[in-house]
Amino acid sequence: MSRLDRQSFLGPNSDAILDAATIGIVGLGGGGSHLAQQSAHMGIGGYVNADPDIIEDTNTNRLIGGTLADVVVKRRKVDIAERLIRGLVPNARIISAPDTWLTAADDLKLCDVIIGAVDGFQEREQLERFARRHLIPYIDIGMDVHDLGKGGFLVSGQVILSMPGCPCMRCCGFITDERLAQEAKKYGAAGSRPQVVWSNGVLASTAMGLLTQILTPWYPDPPRFVYLDYDGNKGTIIPNKRMTLLKDHVCPHHPPAEAGDPLFDVRTQSFTPRPVTPAERAMWWRRLWNRLLSAFA
């Protein structure tokens, strides 16, 4: 048996598909470190990892793969993620960006899926807009802890799958102008946000399930829009009611005319034909998007 034999139910050539796939992970703290670890266990071969931070002592309650020795030498989070991945996939194709994800934009354009594990609403909206423009599925995860006063604390979070042409994070009410304005007022004074390892793990595992449904032939009808609510106090993840309400909704915030690189000039490009990989054949959402574009033509 190979180390991946027990996931052979994911479908014919699933090992090759996962090895050929490239994912982007933006944010390699509590949630993103789980994603890096689980992706490597699954056998995913390509990574674009972006995070500007180094590990600190307060990260060690949740950053998977990080050690106290890493704190001493001020190791970068992208380097910890790469070490974690190579422990399972020695020949992994890894691009590490120890800076904001914008510095890795050209590499992220080539990803099959981008997963965001960031804190702010503004960065989430920018990531989703980038992914939509380049026809890349975007999965968002995040958690928060709310002080209920005498009622204690509420641990909550979300997992959202945003696919080209389908409802976006504005459509489902997760990102609003009011939230962006409130965040802007608090910018620089919000302080540290409470985080715990188990809730990040639940959200990351849920995101990995969605990623696997998208990439492999395992799931007969991969989801096109997902909005899941996490209640850490009850230990539940349930569909948000908007999933039903927006089932056949066409996103008005990211029209087909906004797809593609605004700086792309076909006259400067050279093209070399190459064989289509199993992973590319599996990218069904690109065929769906092309049909959508034809409908608007």
In this prediction, residue 149 carries a pLDDT of: 83
Q: Considering the entire predicted model, what is its pTM?
A: 0.86
CB–CB of 55/80 below 8 Å? Answer: yes
- Rg of the chain's alpha carbons, rounded to an integer? 19
In this prediction, residue 294 carries a pLDDT of: 59
CB–CB of 70/80 below 8 Å? Answer: yes
In this prediction, residue 22 carries a pLDDT of: 98
Residue 196 burial by CB count (10 A; 0-12/13-18/19+): exposed, middle or buried? Answer: middle
How many distinct helices (H) and strands (E) make up the chain? 11, 8
Nearest to 84 by CA among 56, 47, 54: 47
Residue 207 burial by CB count (10 A; 0-12/13-18/19+): exposed, middle or buried? Answer: buried
Q: E strand or H helix at 92, and its extent?
A: none
| Residue pLDDT tens, the chain, 297 long | 689 999 999 998 999 999 999 999 999 999 999 999 999 999 999 999 999 999 999 999 999 999 999 999 999 999 999 999 999 999 999 999 999 999 999 999 999 999 999 988 999 999 999 999 999 999 999 998 888 888 888 899 999 999 998 999 999 999 999 989 888 876 544 345 778 899 999 999 999 999 999 999 998 888 899 999 999 999 999 999 999 999 889 899 988 877 776 654 434 444 444 444 444 445 555 555 555 555 555
- Please state the separation of Cα 125 from the chain's center in Å: 13
CB–CB of 227/160 below 8 Å? Answer: yes
Q: What are phi and psi of 147, to 5 degrees?
A: -80, 115
Spatial CB neighbours of 296, under 8 Å, sequence gap ≥ 6: 256
CA distance 61 to 43: 26
| Tokens, residue 144 | 């928060």
| 257-286 exposure pattern, b = at least 16 Cβ within 10 A, e = fewer | eebeeeeeeeeeeeeeeeeeebbeebbebe
Other CB atoms within 10 Å distance of the CB of residue 66: 23
CB–CB of 110/118 below 8 Å? Answer: no
